[in-house]
């Protein structure tokens, strides 16, 4: 059975990094919230995701991000800081 280019593309694992931690997915598009949550940054709304290449800041948590193999992101805490 031959696989088409589309099937191969769907089966290809994408490796990306959030704050230096390796993440893997078979999906080629994830929302900003999914990227943050899968990397353990919850709740996602307390973090801002930045694409290291070009320093693009994502403002919309529902925005779909096209993932590229080896891509790097930074998650920065923007939530409330508790006071004593």
| Whole-number pLDDT of residue 2 | 46
Q: Do residues 18 and 41 make contact, with C-beta atoms less than 8 angstroms apart?
A: yes
| Whole-number pLDDT of residue 36 | 98
Residue showing tokens 């990397």: 39
Whole-number Cα distances in Å, 32 to 5, 24, 38, 74: 27, 15, 10, 12
Number of H helices, E strands in the chain: 2, 7
Average pLDDT by stretches of 10, the chain with 84 residues? 49 94 97 98 98 96 98 96 80
Residue showing tokens 């280019």: 5
62 contacts: CB under 8 Å, gap ≥ 6:
31, 32, 33
| Whole-number pLDDT of residue 1 | 44
Domain ranges of the chain: 5-77
| Whole-number pLDDT of residue 9 | 52
- CATH level 3 topology of 5-77: Ubiquitin-like (UB roll) (3.10.20)
Q: pTM score > 0.75 for this model?
A: yes
């Amino acid at each position: 059975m031959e696989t088409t280019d589309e099937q191969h593309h769907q089966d290809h694992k994408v490796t990306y990094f959030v704050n230096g931690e390796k993440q893997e997915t078979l999906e080629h598009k994830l929302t900003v919230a999914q990227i943050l949550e899968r990397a353990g940054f919850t709740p996602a709304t307390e973090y801002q995701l930045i694409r290291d290449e070009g320093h693009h800041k994502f403002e919309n948590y529902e925005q779909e991000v096209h993932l590229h193999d080896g891509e790097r992101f930074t998650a920065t805490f923007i939530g409330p800081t508790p006071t004593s």
